[in-house]
Amino acid sequence: MNTTVKWIDGMMMVGESASGHAIVMDGPEELGGNNLGVRPMEMLLIGMGGCTTVDVVSTLKKMREVVDDCRVEISAERADEHPKVFTKIHLHFVISGNNLNEKKIAKAVSLSADKYCSASIMLGKMADVTHDFSIND
């Protein structure tokens, strides 16, 4: 896997994936940015959220659950001193569907957290990563 990040100006950068997709990253104005893009540390959380959501949804579909919507709300805390690594990350899944089975959802979230989501497992080497979920029928 290869990516490229190009500095544009100030704190603005454009990241490009090997698959040809690009995303703008920028910093806050107080750090010399223009607030025109997502922060790089936010990108880590977004990537983690995407990785684990794919796992959960695909696992639930394999379990023959009818999922209409799935989102993960991520909250994180960082260390006060440099390097300001994540110290705590909590993922809360909100899943909607038809007659969803709570045990199957718990299993899908657990499988993602413990086996499949490489982003979550990697960040879990540095931070306390926790998961829970709620069901909206």
pLDDT in tens, 18-62: 999 999 999 999 999 999 999 999 999 999 999 999 999 999 999
Mean pLDDT of 66-90: 97
Mean pLDDT along residues 118-137: 96
Task: Give the bridge partners for 91, in sequence order.
Answer: 74, 131
User: Residue 13 pLDDT more than 90?
Assistant: yes
**pTM for this model (two decimals):** 0.93
H-run or E-run covering 98: strand 86-98
In this structure, what token pair is assigned to residue 123?
A: 């960040």
Q: Are 125 and 85 in contact (CB under 8 A)?
A: no
Query: Mean of the per-residue pLDDT values for the chain?
Result: 97
> Residue 137: is its pLDDT beyond 80?
no
